[in-house]
Amino acid sequence: MIEIERKFLVKSNAFKNDAFKQTKITQGFLSTDKKRTVRIRLKGDIGYLTIKGESSNNGLSRFEWEKKITKTEAEQLLLLCKKGVIEKTRYDIKVENHTFEVDEFYGENQGLIIAEVELDHENETFVKPDWLGVEVTGDIKYYNSQLSENPYRYW
């Protein structure tokens, strides 16, 4: 139940040519406390309730628990979320042994594109595609919970 991931800015739209899947995502937060984030997500027609713990000092890993819920449950819970619901499209891109999830944000976070890659351990190596930009792993302002409170457009 420990999530290990690295996060990067994306420097071009070239990633879209390599995507094997794209999904609309709406997500909101019931709690954005850095020690316990509680997220509601509607990913296509499937809902998720996710609880994340505090990040490690280097920002690479943290506790994550996720449970599928119905679309109706997610829609109802999204109504209870704090202000700042996030809308984005997620592109899944296979690069050798890893799948990158690239999020293109809309609304208050329009113009921001972030790629994440999940790893089995913190020192795992992976191939970096050409469209991958600066690493922002551990930079809290790029956490979705923070983007809901302090959107990219106001930076």
CATH (domain of 63): 2.40.320.10
Does the pLDDT at position 72 exceed 90?
Answer: yes
Quote the number of domains for the chain. 1
Note the pLDDT of residue 1. Answer: 87
Does the pLDDT at position 34 exceed 90?
Answer: no
pLDDT band at 85 (very low <50, low <70, confident <90, very high): very high
- What confidence tens digit (pLDDT) does each residue in 97-112 have? 999 999 999 999 999 9
Q: Are 119 and 4 in contact (CB under 8 A)?
A: yes
Average pLDDT of the chain, as a whole number = 97
Q: Beta strands 2-10 and 21-33: pairing type?
A: unpaired
Domain coverage including residue 144: 2-154
Average pLDDT over residues 33-50: 96
- The Cα 90–Cα 104 span in angstroms is 6
- The Cα 94–Cα 53 span in angstroms is 27
